[in-house]
Amino acid sequence: MRTSPSIVPAGDDQTVYLVKDDLGRLGAVWREADAETTDLETVIADLMAGEYSDPVRIIAFNTAERWSEDVSEDVAREIQHRCNLQLTDVPSYLQEFVDRHAAQDMRQFSMRLV
């Protein structure tokens, strides 16, 4: 009996993160990414640098382990956490994403003195 070959590349056991970005009139797209820049740290750095127009959702998947998951909440919390540590506001281009996905208790906790 003949079996189909696996679609999972051998030795390629890594988690990939892709960003769904809303391009306005052009619609929402899964942004193209270099295979070497789909790790979590690079995606967060790119989000914070404004590389995405209007991020809607972030999906992680690992084909070798056969799973996928919406990690938008985790990423939004991490962005909020990093901004809190730096005592800065969430960048305006990420505010809607963080508001939509981060838990209420993770919102900016610093108070401005006037």
**Cβ count near 41 (within 10 Å):** 10
Average pLDDT, the chain: 85
Helix (H) / strand (E) containing 21: strand 16-22
Quick one: DSSP state of residue 66? T
Quick one: 13 exposed, middle or buried, by C-beta within 10 A (0-12, 13-18, 19+)? exposed
Instruction: Provide the H-helix boundaries in 6-105.
Output: 40-48, 72-85, 92-101
State the total domains in the chain: 1
Q: Flag whether 39 is in a domain.
A: yes
Give the pTM. 0.78
Q: Flag whether 114 is in a domain.
A: no
Q: Which amino acid is at 30?
A: W
Q: Flag whether 5 is in a domain.
A: no
Nearest Cα residue to 55 out of 90, 83, 107: 90
pLDDT, tens digit, 9 for 90 and up, residues 60-84: 999 999 999 999 999 999 999 999 9
Q: Flag whether 72 is in a domain.
A: yes
pLDDT, tens digit, 9 for 90 and up, residues 9-64: 555 678 999 999 999 999 999 998 888 889 999 999 999 999 998 999 999 999 99
Q: Which residues span the domain enclosing 75?
A: 16-106
18 token code pair: 């892709």
Q: Flag whether 52 is in a domain.
A: yes
